[in-house]
Amino acid sequence: MACYAPCEYKREVSELRKKVELLESGLQTERLNKKLDLEKRSKLYALNERDGLKRKLEESQRIVEKLRDQIEGYKDQLVWLEEDRKKDKQDAAAKIRELKKQIGELEKSLSTATWRLEKQQRDLDKQREKELKEQREQYEKTLAELREQHRKEMEEKDGVIASLTQLLKDGVPKPKDIETKTPVVNKTRTTSRNSSTSPSQDPNHPVINNRTPSGLKPGAQKGHEAHLRKWFETPTNVVVLPVPQEVLDHPEDYYEIDSFKKQVVSLKLMVIVTQYEGKVYRHHDTRAIVKSPLPDDIGHLEVNYDSSVDAVTSYLHSVCNVPYNKVHELMFDATDGLLNISVGKLANLEKHFSELSEEERANIARSLFTGSVMNVDGTCMRVNGHQRQVLVMCNKTDVLYRYTGCKGDEAIKDTPVEHYQGTVVSDAEATFTKLGRQRQGCIIHESRYSHRAEQDTPELKSPTHMKELLQRIQHCRNVEMAQGKTCMAKEEREKIYKEYDEYVREGVQEYRQFCPELFEKHLILAESRLAPYSERYSLDLDSLSQHNRAGLKKDEDLCPGMPSESVSLLVKDINLLFRFITNKEDYLLFLQDYSIPPHNNDAEKCARTVKTHAKPNGGMRSEKYVGYYADTASVLETEQRQHRSRFKKLHEVFGRKAKKLRELLRNAGHGRKTCEA
């Protein structure tokens, strides 16, 4: 290590101090220069900012001046508008005064015209009352003359009838000097109200309306709760409406207060085609072919229709009664030609439904057979140009149609009603009167026939009395059922029975006097049936003429001078009286149990379904397809009575078709493989 002398050390220290001082002086100079530069830059920035503020101030002054000019212009316009408003107000006041003056003049003229009209109306009312009074006096005078004439004629007829009756009882031949008059029977037009003719065959049948006119305008009344259309909680699409243009232009003038919703329901018939693609494989050794598995609800054809297509087309034909060719046209037009279903395919739908719904029909038959009451009726359907019979069986929840092709005992063979042990409700057809443990006759039918008899022979009172009795007891049953009663009191039933017997005896006496020979002939023909009731209703079967028993004449010969049509009507009225004699217990059975309906309306309504289906389709070509339709209608009508969807039932039943077909093919393939083995 080198050694320095002290003098050299001091010299180096001094040199180093000088260098340090020089460095410090240079640093201070540099700092001063930087400081001067910053001051210059800040002064320049301040000058530029001041110039910018001056320019902005000048611009704002120009804007203020412009706004002042606009305000002055608005003030001038406001003054002009106030002056115009004052002038318009003065003009409007003048016009109002003029209009008030005209209104006063019109009111004066209106009051004068009203007074004149009231006076004319009073004069017309007085004149009309005078004319009506004169007409009433004239009508009363004419009516009194007609009544007196009718009374004399009736007295004359009663005398002649009494004479003839006495002569017949004594067995003395009729003297030639006694004048006899042929009983008059009105030729009443057969309608749906006095016969079994259906309303569809009665073109002028009256519309049933039991409402009393209220005098109010049609439509909803004030205070009535509105019945709106069903609101859809989950819409398919939601469209948000745009803001109105007025609000966009002036948003400061509007504010939101509420919102609203509207729904538009559309219906589209879409064709959805699902294509299944798979592979086919062959085994190397066994050469067996294996395909990709298909779902069970797919048929064996290249193009298959699923149960939705079958359900829609079957509903149109079987329920809506649309012919097959119209269903084909609807499907073709609604899908723009995509769905071209053949008429043969549509014609086989009821056949497939019948084959697939055996379980449902078995349940319906079981329910009918085990029920306490069954309504039975028959109706006709045109099959290949001939009338064929369809049997209708129903209760409150089930309906079963059975194609029988004929009437009589053959029609009820192998049906639930053949061995039924409950209460059968039917009309007076002989086949149905022997069915069931007990029977309720349809009093609606007999009431209509009594109404016809009342029109045929207005001189007789018994048809009117019997019709009123049947209507009254049916109304009484409805009222008491609404009150919760299950049957009529025993005392009331006894009164009804006595009144019934009284009207039947009255009918026997009246018809015996009105047409004695004709009545005696039909008493002889029905003697075996009427014998048990001879004493109760004074039929006097023992006193019948032996001459008439030996050789019965024709009905026309027993009523000389009477048209054959009138004679046939009179025979129907006599047979109605005989039914009242023999079927008293059947007609009044419902008084002991209100659960038994007094009429056969349920079966009549079900029969109307068959009629309305056959009419637009022109009948059926094959008896087999009548049976298929009867099977289909049985299931669908039962679904409707049980408040279930008929369309869903069609969808469900047709859904079994492809599964059943695949099972058959699978079983056939399994059998073929077994035979080959």
Q: 317 vs 44, which has greater pLDDT?
A: 317
**Structure confidence by residue, pLDDT tens digits, 364-402:** 999 999 999 999 999 888 888 888 899 999 999 999 999
Per-residue pLDDT for 644 more than 90? yes
Tell me phi and psi for residue 235, to 5 degrees: -70, 155
Q: What is the DSSP letter of 243?
A: P
Per-residue pLDDT for 470 more than 60? yes
Average pLDDT, the chain: 83
Q: Provide the pLDDT for residue 174.
A: 41
Rounded Cα distance between 562 and 185, Å, is 8
**Structure confidence by residue, pLDDT tens digits, 516-531:** 888 888 888 888 888 8
Q: 149 to each of 178, 186, 224, 459, 675, how far by Cα in Å?
A: 21, 19, 57, 15, 99
Q: Which residues pair with 439 in a beta bridge?
A: 424
Residue owning tokens 């009256």 = 206
Q: Provide the pLDDT for residue 466.
A: 93
Q: Provide the pLDDT for residue 175.
A: 40
Q: Provide the pLDDT for residue 395.
A: 93
Q: Provide the pLDDT for residue 4.
A: 47
Q: 148 to each of 138, 140, 141, 154, 461, how far by Cα in Å?
A: 15, 12, 11, 10, 19
Q: Which residues pair with 419 in a beta bridge?
A: none
Rounded Cα distance between 91 and 392, Å, is 85
Average confidence (pLDDT) over 399-420: 89
Q: 143 to each of 135, 238, 328, 457, how far by Cα in Å?
A: 12, 76, 65, 21
AA identity, residue 403: Y
Residue pair 513/589 in contact (Cβ under 8 Å)? The answer is no
Which ranges of 224-348 would DSSP assign to H, the alpha helix?
245-249, 307-314, 324-334, 343-347
Report CA 514 to chain centroid distance, whole Å.
48
Average confidence (pLDDT) over 628-654: 93
Percent of the chain scoring above 70 in pLDDT: 87
Report CA 592 to chain centroid distance, whole Å.
34
Per-residue pLDDT for 42 more than 90? no
Other CB atoms closer than 10 Å to residue 650's CB: what's the count?
A: 27
Report CA 476 to chain centroid distance, whole Å.
28
pLDDT band at 547; cut points 50, 70, 90: very low
pLDDT band at 506; cut points 50, 70, 90: very high
Q: Would you kindly state where each structural domain of the chain is located, as residue ranges?
A: 15-168, 351-652
Q: Provide the pLDDT for residue 296.
A: 73
pLDDT band at 426; cut points 50, 70, 90: very high
Per-residue pLDDT for 676 more than 50? no
Per-residue pLDDT for 10 more than 50? yes
Helix or strand holding residue 613 (H, E): helix 601-617
Q: Residue 446: name the closest of 196, 186, 192 by CA.
A: 196
Helix or strand holding residue 387 (H, E): strand 386-394
What is the pTM for the complete model shown?
A: 0.66
Q: 283 vs 46, which has greater pLDDT?
A: 283
Q: Residue 534: name the closest of 585, 586, 581 by CA.
A: 581
Residue pair 650/405 in contact (Cβ under 8 Å)? The answer is no
Rounded Cα distance between 304 and 273, Å, is 10
Highest mean pLDDT among 68-82, 265-279, 464-478: 464-478
Q: Can you read off the two tokens belonging to residue 183?
A: 């009983």
Q: 527 to each of 165, 342, 441, how far by Cα in Å?
A: 21, 61, 22
Q: 310 vs 668, which has greater pLDDT?
A: 310
SS3 percent helix, strand, coil of the chain, rounded to 5, is 60, 5, 30
Tell me phi and psi for residue 426, to 5 degrees: -155, 175
Backbone region of residue 540 per phi and psi (left: phi > 0; alpha: psi in -120 to 50; beta: other values): left
Helix or strand holding residue 401 (H, E): strand 399-403
Angle between helices 443-456 and 564-582 (to 10 degrees): 140
**Structure confidence by residue, pLDDT tens digits, 98-157:** 888 888 888 888 888 888 888 888 888 888 888 888 888 887 888 788 888 878 878 777
Q: Provide the pLDDT for residue 674.
A: 31
**Structure confidence by residue, pLDDT tens digits, 183-239:** 556 555 666 666 666 666 666 666 666 677 777 888 778 888 888 888 999 999 999
Q: 486 vs 203, which has greater pLDDT?
A: 486
pLDDT band at 180; cut points 50, 70, 90: very low
Q: Residue 572: name the closest of 465, 469, 463, 442 by CA.
A: 463
> What is the bridge-based pairing of β-strands 373-383 and 386-394?
antiparallel
Rounded Cα distance between 370 and 438, Å, is 15
Q: Provide the pLDDT for residue 185.
A: 60
Q: Can you read off the two tokens belonging to residue 435?
A: 């069915």
Q: Sort 301 into a burial class: Cβ within 10 Å, 0-12 / 13-18 / 19+.
A: exposed
Rounded Cα distance between 438 and 429, Å, is 15
Rounded Cα distance between 634 and 428, Å, is 24
Q: Provide the pLDDT for residue 152.
A: 80
Taken in order 571, 573, 574, 580, the sign of the CA dihedral is positive
Taken in order 321, 325, 331, 336, the sign of the CA dihedral is negative
